[in-house]
Amino acid sequence: MEPTGGDDITQVVCLETDLQDGQMKEVEVAHQKILLVRNEGRFSAVGGLCTHFRAPLIKGTLTGNRVRCPWHGACFNTTTGDIEEFPGLDSLPTFKVKVENGKVYVTANKKAQTKRVKEMSCRKTGVCHTVLLIGGGPASLQCAETLRQNNYGGRIIIVTKDKYPPLIKTTLSKAMNIEVEKIFLRPDDFLQKHGIEVWTEKEVVSVNTKKKIATLYDGTSQHYDQLLIATGARARAMQCPGAELENIKVLQNYRDASGIYRLSVGNKAVIIGTSFIGMEVAAYLSDKAASVAVVGKSKFPYQLSLGPVIGRMAMQMLEEKNVKFYMSNGVASIRGENRKVKEVVLQNGEVLQADVVIVGIGVIPNSDFLKGSTVQIDSRNAIVVDKFMRTNVTDVFAAGDVVSFPLSLSGHKKANIGHWQLAQAHGRIAALNMLRKQTEVNTVPYFWTVLLGQSIRYTGYGEGYTDIVFKGNVDERKFLALYIKDEEVVAAASMNFDPAVSKVAEIIATGRKVKKSQAESEDLSWLENMHLQC
């Protein structure tokens, strides 16, 4: 190791012959984990931890000069360090590499950060142009940041009904009593520095697309030159006698999460719905509530999305924590006393004691405020966009959970998918096309859920799958599930089988096909050889 002046340290990390093209190695310089990559004969070095949740990228998947995180699928360019696929907002730091006398040297600074914000502009005087972003989620924030990263100098306004600036909402069902400041996507001073206005507790109630004016609930209005609608989706309400009682809750924002936590601790909680939100809330409350009961219409949780085998496993995990399941069932009515919930009556006549009821029975895209406008909305309330995230109205874009968009990996069939990572991808594509940098949405959906500290990862688009091929052992909670449609792998899910799902995501992203016969074979070379360049 040799100091190079100041706080820089240069160190021999390996021999030139230690890495072949398409290989990577984790090294440590100045107490920092660094990912060293060799591609087309050249070495490069970037931060070794994903900027999203600090996953070790050495365990990820390398394709050419792109590494994909093993946990949540974020992708980084190993030459520039730039983030190229989400989730996460920040890029990786880069480090100087030199090769001399067959030895590879890396230089790092003792004070270097583990993440890097892409260079961003701010508002410029004299630029009379406004981009209005409706909705305070990841799509709007990513759109705003992408605009500034591409030297946009106009005004950027994010309008949100929430009390807070954009939050990491995926945390709310996994850590319901977290302090709100810990889940800010960006602190206030960052937003102010880059001229991104956030209007909290404001709601747009109508849009006049001819005059380019959005009207707010308080009667004020705002002119825009370009508009992004990223209003997300709202929780579907219960429709049964007693549904109006107090202590019946949905989980949509920070206030909901902290309220559910407060009402549930030491009390009897009943959860309606066995999809991802319901199951995460059940898992989180399993050691905090006096009792947790889950009611679901299907035989197993996740039955439509992940299939009955994984659903049964997840159910067993929670049953081990004394969560009770009432499956193939529904709610007939909810009874109360002094306007507060006391009992949930099931369709088969069983009665569950309840102090709080948490409802997770699906969502509806938030597009009602567009009724009367010319923006096209489909039969499911989703805003229809093209591959550039444009609506049918000039200068009106839409992104995230509220849209139906052409999914490239399903032959550009329109899809409405509520994934955090997709919302970020949509926001970026919308921003680039606002700037006339024509770019198509071409991302592979990547999703994860966490139960009792165990993650289930998912990639692809499995709607209409006909078979599931399993590798590993579901009962041992270490498996890879490959979803088959038309004799090809269209999606994958895993637990304790990293980085298999990220490898499948890369296969799909690079346009390759995996036949059912390959998936069923004992020979998994199609999966194992992912470190080779494409």
Q: Could you tell me if 412 and 355 lie in one domain?
A: no
Dihedral pair phi/psi, residue 59, rounded to 5°: -90, 5
**Alpha-carbon distances, residue 206 vs 249, 373, 405 (angstroms):** 27, 8, 22
Q: Could you tell me if 105 and 52 lie in one domain?
A: yes
In total, how many domains does the chain have? 4
What residue numbers bound the domain in which 61 lies? 2-109
* Residue 215 within any structural domain of the chain: yes
* Residue 239 within any structural domain of the chain: no
pLDDT, mean of residues 380-406? 98
Checking DSSP bridges between strand 213-216 and strand 204-208, what pairing results, if any? antiparallel
482 pLDDT more than 60: yes
Q: Which of 327, 361, 395 is the last residue of a domain?
A: 361
Dihedral pair phi/psi, residue 218, rounded to 5°: -85, 5
* Residue 310 within any structural domain of the chain: yes
pLDDT band per the 50, 70, 90 thresholds, residue 112: confident
* Residue 117 within any structural domain of the chain: no
* Residue 441 within any structural domain of the chain: no
- The first and second tokens of residue 210, run together, are 């001819």
pLDDT, mean of residues 452-470? 96
pLDDT tens string 311-320: 999 999 999 9
Query: What single string gives the DSSP state of each residue in 204-240?
Result: EEEEETTTTEEEETTS-EEE-SEEEE---EEEPPP-S
CB atoms within 10 A of CB 240: 15
At 525 the pLDDT is 83
pLDDT tens string 49-80: 999 999 999 999 999 999 999 999 999 999 99
pLDDT tens string 25-56: 999 999 999 999 999 999 999 999 999 999 99
| Residue 8 belongs to domain with CATH number | 2.102.10.10
Q: Could you tell me if 372 and 346 lie in one domain?
A: no
Place of tokens 């931890």: 49
534 pLDDT more than 70: no
522 pLDDT more than 90: no
* Residue 125 within any structural domain of the chain: no
Q: What percent of the chain has pLDDT over 70?
A: 98
| Residue 180 belongs to domain with CATH number | 3.50.50.60
pLDDT tens string 240-261: 999 999 999 999 999 999 999 9
Residues 451, 445: Cα–Cα separation, whole Å? 20
At 5 the pLDDT is 54
